[in-house]
Amino acid sequence: MEPLMKDSESLKDYRRVRRLAIRSLFEIIEQSSEGTVIVDRDARIVWINERYARRFGLEDPGRAVGQPCEQVIPGSLLRQVASNGQPILLDMMDTAKDPLVVMRLPIHDDGGAVIGAIGFALFDELQALSPLLKRYASMQQELASTRSLLRARQAKYSFAHFIGTSAASLEVKRRARRSASTDSPVLLLGETGTGKELLAHAVHNSSSRAHKPFISINSAAIPEALLEAEFFGTAPGAFTGADRKGRQGKLHLAEGGTLFLDEIGDMPLPLQSKLLRVLQEKEYEPVGSNEMIKSDVRLIAATSTDLEAAIKRGEFRADLYYRLSVLPIQVPPLRERLDDIPALTEAILEDLRSQHELAPAAMAALAQHAWPGNIRELRNVLERAALLSDDLQLNPGDIRAAIGTLVPVTSPPATGPLASNDQTYSEARQHFDRELIQAKLAQCAGNVILAARQLGLGRSTLYKKMAALGIAESQ
């Protein structure tokens, strides 16, 4: 018992214990580390152990004494520590051989003044820090993935990206800006390639939900059997092959933000009724679940389909149409806003990072085409013309060659169906579409795939339009 009592009493001598602890700590670190160096207040080396000296090419440690620390140890920060007295407890220092994990501490005199600094190279191999580094790398990767996902779920465009100063374009932007101030559904109507999705992005970015997700879903691009699961999500093990953890749907991902439903005219009737419930009751039920989930989503829908005609054919619910068309916006085709072509051309060439310019006659040639594929076709033509031309100034020949088959801009005939005063817009558009498709099929010798490509339409979309308009495939 007597030795134990003596040790216990000796520990009460704080100053002595502290001095012993410091000496022990120094000896342990110095012996186990890869190198130790001490500098004075001017960052000149006072002492360096043999291991550290050899790492930097000195067989005799004495040759380092008196030299500035950076001259012996490139990249050393001991001068900074000796100057400001602030320790650097853990850092990485690159060397010609391998990176080092280092610790730098100031040295004080009895009065507390900084008289130098000491540095320890703790590890020359990072295996000892492997768990910490792996955890750090994992956290960085997860953070980068989250940031990337957030960026992917943000709207990309604003109203500044909808190029055009024609009366038709200004009216579209006016109505779209007004719709951004409300939470009511928006229905964007117009042909493919007119910029409906761009407007959806712009409405979201100008709304109070701009900081929330913007999620898109294309009803025509997803098989009907999977569309409901894609839209509402699935409960765990909802069906054979389903994720055992369940899967979040687009409605969940868009919570608090905006859900953009592109080509809503192709949405199956059963799903239309469920979407109507979301709009009316603000709730939905995942596939295979009995749980009702509340929904706070602003809906923007777009279609190139004539929904009124689809209602008459029994392919679209009238009640859903009326619920969606609170704020309908008709996006005009390019042939109705030809005055915007110069500004659109400049913006497209700039986006393509092209140095090409159009001669005045080439710009006039663009205005002679009816642009059945609209702005998407215009971009395609300009990109093709720029790639094929050897000159930086595009001429009318370059433009005509890039267009291929010219669809002339024609005025409505003075007589015939379009001249009827009691004709609706829907009927007039059907008449125009029928004549355009019939003319294109005739030019392509009845080849639907080629006609669809030249019209800027998908093959299935053209087949649907032909069926709706009563155009035979053999034409």
Higher-confidence residue of 276 and 100: namely 276
Decide: residue 40, CB within 10 A, 0-12 exposed, 13-18 middle, 19+ buried.
middle
Residue 45 phi/psi, 5° resolution? -70, 125
**What is the per-residue pLDDT for 226?**
84
- Structural domains of the chain ordered from first start: 33-125 (3.30.450.20), 159-330 (3.40.50.300), 337-403 (1.10.8.60), 417-469 (1.10.10)
Q: Do residues 370 and 408 touch, judged by C-beta distance below 8 A?
A: yes
Backbone torsion region of residue 357, taken as left when φ is above 0, otherwise alpha when ψ lies between -120 and 50, otherwise beta: beta
CA 288 and chain centroid, separation: 31
Residue 243 clears pLDDT 70, i.e. is over it: no
Helices (H), 56-166: 69-72, 78-84, 130-152
**Stretch among 121-135, 291-305, 407-421 having the lowest mean pLDDT:** 407-421
Nearest CA to 359 among 400, 408, 387? 400
Backbone torsion region of residue 463, taken as left when φ is above 0, otherwise alpha when ψ lies between -120 and 50, otherwise beta: alpha
Q: What is the mean predicted confidence (pLDDT) over 412-417?
A: 42
Torsion of CA 108, 110, 113, 114, to 10 degrees: -20
DSSP string covering 231-263: HHEE-TT-STT--TT-EE-HHHHTTTSEEEEET
Which of 51-55, 253-257, 429-433 has the highest average model confidence (pLDDT)? 253-257
The amino acid at 65: V
The string of pLDDT tens digits covering residues 381-400 is 999 999 999 899 999 999 99
**What is the per-residue pLDDT for 125?**
54
Residue 102 phi/psi, 5° resolution? -125, 160
Higher-confidence residue of 288 and 357: namely 357
Strands 35-40 and 114-123: antiparallel
The string of pLDDT tens digits covering residues 177-209 is 999 989 999 999 999 999 999 999 999 999 999
Higher-confidence residue of 387 and 240: namely 387
Confidence of residue 242 (pLDDT cuts 50, 70, 90): low
Cα gap 48→50, rounded to integer Å: 7
Q: What pTM was estimated for this model as a whole? A: 0.58
